[in-house]
Structure 1
Amino acid sequence: MLFRSWGSAVEAPWPDVAEVTDHVGVRHLVVTRHAQVRQVLADPVSYRPDNALDAMTPMPVTALRMLAGHRFRLPPTLANNSGASHPRIRAIVADALHPTRVAAQRPWLTALVRDRVARLRATLDAGHSVDLYADLAADLPLLVLARLVELPDAPVGAVKEFARAALELFWAPLDADRQVALAGEVGRFHRVLRDFAATGGGLAADLRNAGHPPDVVVGALFFLLVAGQETTSQFLTLLLHRLAGEPAVRAGLRTGEVAVGDVVEEGLRLEPPIVTWRRVAAVDSTLGGTPVPAGTGLVLWLGRAGRDPAVVESPDEFRPGQRGSRRHLAFGAGAHRCVGDMLARMEAAVVVAEAAPLLDGVRVIRPPWCPDNLTFRMPDAFVVRSATGRPAGRTGF
């Protein structure tokens, strides 16, 4: 999904590189093919990440004043950092999310998910509806992340509201009133991050002890809270919804003919929570035969690249383990590849293994709805109910 208005701006099939004008009149080049998207991501010198966190809808003075009043700043830290400090910051964050530390969380997360699934099954067996976003997926990544990096002491609901507000403020088409409201919400939580960055332990202390200034510590925490947990809860919801319509895959999971890891990778390919990412051309170049002058904004269509027939055998079918399934770009590529990819994969594997059986014998009452957003899908709910009144499937494979 791109901005919905862009879907009618270019006739199908999309070319390798398409010129599109956004809702405020700014020209972008949308890069659609796997090879060209990877080429851009792998070359941070020619294609810089400096615009990665720029607001898609320019903010009015009132919203900017609101953010300034909260001393809101997003200096180059991770996704938007093309400078020399990026490798040092990334190394500290990567150590906090090291695969060994991630793997150590798996037993705890499995027990938590198993307990929730048991309660959801009882609710379904009683004839009631359940929301697999709100009741299962929404807070799981945040709870795991808090165990790994130590996060500000704030209610889960407040963190989730802040993260979704930030995704909307910077990547959605908005009117001025909505921008002001979101700026207030994001700015208020930024104060919490700033206070925690000055005194908190865990990752915040590691960054401070390495000599990084307070704004960098805040920026790293901001990015983790937005990209490190919100996108994963989105993916868990989207993947469960996709599995609800894939009975053959669920049957394969039950018999062991389909591997959980292959399901996760195919889900990342077909249902990525981040569908685009941005770069800005630093030099004159050419992509797919299209001239790209320096200063051009590029929109890398990660979701479309995952369906490239040059890479995937059956690009539109959910076939775990098929050729090319794992070559998706859901986590990006190159120096800015998502540092939490192993964490997201572990969480998704646990949820698939423990929760997919709930989808046997249910009907979807309310599928996930995603608001208009250039980059993030942000599903809001996924409601199911038993189709027959009979008990839902047993947990685990």
Structure 2
Amino acid sequence: MTDVLSGNPAALPCPAAAYHRARQKGVHFSAAMNAYVVSSHEAVLRIVLDAETFSSCNALGAPAPGPEEEMSNYLPYLLTSSEPEHAHRRSIVNRAFTPRRIAGHEPAIEAICQRLVNSLRHKSDVDFIKDIAVPLPISVIGHVLGLPEEDLPDLLRWSQALVEATVGVDDFDPQRIVPPGRRLAARITDRFIGARRGVLPLIHQSGIPPADAARFVIDLLVAGNFTTTAYLSSAMHILARSPELADHLRDHPADMAGFVEETLRLENPLQGMYRRATRDCEIDGFSIPEGARVLVLFGSANQDPAQWPDPAAFDPQRTDAANHLTFGHGTHTCLGSALVRLQSRLLLQTLLANTVRIRPADQEITYLPNPIFRCPAALHLGITWATQQPAVPG
């Protein structure tokens, strides 16, 4: 299992074999991750549903080097906090991310997707990550939050630096986080006070002080930015390698929802997260001491044959694909799951509707050298555009 958990580049493109060995081995301690590894669907689900025994504090692992006290102000709070604080803070923003409210953003998100695709029609070679997968999520979350477009470039640069801090880039400079974080927090506070649409007014109505709005924005930026970029890149790689599937989805766009769920199952950007045992306990008969770190492998749980027949096979017609744990479960279910699904479906539908053929420019792709965050390092595409250019919605 250490081949994947150590970030071995040769193992990262296809971790299924390593996950199979981990499930056969059962719960075990990994020195590489300094954590007890849990990999079966049943055990992972049991852990994420028991927030009292398995705390989410420091859920992404060890903090990056730097001034920890101030750095902690910028780590994703909803993701890494425990009860009762988590429940209180999450309740404030929950109603902004209900499926019904997110569905109301569909026309605006569809227009964002169409404008983005239209801006690339002069290119036959597209850097998918740089040109599409990076700018789309920040534009969408900026719209949902109610932030003006002029704020987005700075927010994007800063949130990418925060992701690098979270992932643990070797040469990471904490000065890329703290000073810009102070400036952005002040700007967000100003936006919060004058906001009339989006999520920020909902936070204001809750009575939370304006300065705390930055914490919510940080949560939503990190959760909705890098993970969506990573997922879209993996999903697009599958489509580019499967021209018959792409043609089918062009002709049958209603099937895109099933494609999205199956790719979320197999290509979840967050392959695992940490929990900390709050007491001595057992998982599948294996003793876990109080204070120990537990790594729950969502990527392995999503390929467990006890949950899905032929789990390694890619089947966009799979009727139970949505039972995956890509967005977690229980109190820490991803707040933005409906938004990820919506913008992913709309972007892929829009891109296919505007193209005749999409093909990978590279035979092989490499992945970021991190066993937890799954994302292609680059994805270059050759695109043949359709002659007819669809109108921009709205």
Same-fold status (TM-score > 0.5): yes
User: 225, 230, 244: which one pairs with 1:229?
Assistant: 225
Aligned partner of 2:250: which letter?
R
Contact 1:131 1:384 in 2 (8 A): yes
Aligned to 2:58: 51
Residue 164 of structure 1: CA displacement? 2.2
Q: TM-score, normalised by structure 2?
A: 0.84
Aligned to 1:355: 351
Residue 251 of structure 1: CA displacement? 3.2
Contact 1:283 1:293 in 2 (8 A): yes
1:40 and 2:81 correspond: no
1:88 and 2:88 correspond: yes
Aligned to 2:35: 28
Aligned to 1:315: 311
CA distance in 2, matches of 1:209, 1:258: 38
1:186-225 matched pairs, under 5 angstroms: 186-199=177-190, 200=192, 201=195, 203-212=199-208, 216-225=212-221
CA distance in 1, matches of 2:141, 2:253: 32
Query: 1:18 and 1:324, CA in 2 relative to 1: closer, same or farther beyond 3 A?
Result: farther
Residue 328 of structure 1: CA displacement? 0.9
Aligned to 2:161: 165
CA distance in 1, matches of 2:322, 2:71: 42
Aligned to 1:331: 327
CA distance in 2, matches of 1:76, 1:353: 31
Query: 1:363 and 1:71, CA in 2 relative to 1: closer, same or farther beyond 3 A?
Result: closer
Aligned partner of 1:330: which letter?
T
CA distance in 1, matches of 2:79, 2:373: 15
SS in 1 for 2:58: coil
SS in 2 for 1:307: coil
Aligned to 2:267: 271
**Deviations along 1:176-235, whole A, 9 cap, x unmatched?**
xx23x1x11111232134214533235445435434356743322211111122211221
User: 16, 21, 39: which one pairs with 1:13?
Assistant: 21
Residue 271 of structure 1: CA displacement? 1.0
CA distance in 2, matches of 1:262, 1:238: 15
Query: 1:163 and 1:361, CA in 2 relative to 1: closer, same or farther beyond 3 A?
Result: closer
1:4 and 2:18 correspond: no
Residue 391 of structure 1: CA displacement? 5.2
SS in 1 for 2:238: helix
Residue 35 of structure 1: CA displacement? 0.8
1:364-383 matched pairs, under 5 angstroms: 364-365=361-362, 369-383=366-380
SS in 1 for 2:318: coil
CA distance in 1, matches of 2:334, 2:41: 17
Contact 1:131 1:383 in 2 (8 A): yes
Query: 1:118 and 1:190, CA in 2 relative to 1: closer, same or farther beyond 3 A?
Result: closer
CA distance in 1, matches of 2:202, 2:188: 10
Question: Percent identical across equivalent pairs?
Answer: 26
Residue 78 of structure 1: CA displacement? 1.1
Structure 1 unpaired stretches of 5+: none
CA distance in 1, matches of 2:86, 2:249: 40
Contact 1:77 1:216 in 2 (8 A): no
SS in 1 for 2:233: helix
SS in 1 for 2:334: coil
Q: How many residues align?
A: 373
Residue 348 of structure 1: CA displacement? 0.8
SS in 2 for 1:372: coil
Contact 2:27 2:284 in 1 (8 A): yes
Query: 1:298 and 1:148, CA in 2 relative to 1: closer, same or farther beyond 3 A?
Result: same
**Deviations along 1:70-102, whole A, 9 cap, x unmatched?**
676258841122132322321221222232332
Aligned to 1:73: 73
Query: 1:316 and 1:205, CA in 2 relative to 1: closer, same or farther beyond 3 A?
Result: same
Aligned partner of 1:296: which letter?
A
Structure 2 unpaired stretches of 5+: 13-17
What's the RMSD between the two structures over aligned residues? Answer: 3.0
SS in 1 for 2:361: strand
